[in-house]
Amino acid sequence: MKLRHGIFLLASALCAAGAWAGEAATALKADELKAAPFRDAKTVGKLARGDKLDILKQQSGWYQVKSAKQTGWVRMLSVRRGAAQKGSSVSGLAGLATGRAGTGRVVASTGVRGLSEEDLKSAKFDAAETKKMESYEVSKDAARKFASQAQLKSIKLDYLPKPEGVEP
């Protein structure tokens, strides 16, 4: 009986140690590390594209990460979860996929990544927040300049075919 108890304690300790190690991740692009999970929080460091990270915690659309040099908060869309694979890159539509494949239920999408099902169910319209969001609008020229600096490339996608039996 003592042997079973000892094995159980050892297995529990190993699982707990793994939970504290953090999930491996890679920086998808250069970004700022923030002191708190807010856009206007103090910048405490910088990440370079390809930096190896450990995800320590998630809060809303932010990850608390640890790099080789520093710890801070970064936007979820700047991070790829999982260990980087040699020679791998995200391109085309594959880079936009954020839901789980094969489960039959998409649990996240690009626009609401980081929100739980309960968050979405309890969401209410807020005119002040909508106005605040609209204040972040930028011109086409500013968007093109940003895309150029981030080395983003435009791709042309064909429209999906019209489903059969659907009236316009």
Using one digit for the tens of pLDDT, what is the confidence trace for 16-39? 434 445 788 999 999 999 999 988
Count CB neighbours of 47 within 10 A: 23
Q: What is the pTM of this model?
A: 0.43
How big is the chain by its Cα radius of gyration, in Å? 21
Q: How much is the pLDDT for 13?
A: 45
Domains along the chain with CATH numbers: 12-86 (2.30.30.40), 90-134 (no CATH)
Summarize pLDDT for 47-64 with one digit per residue, the tens: 999 999 999 988 888 999
Contacts of 26 (CB under 8 A, 6+ apart): 50, 51, 52, 53, 79, 80, 82, 83, 84
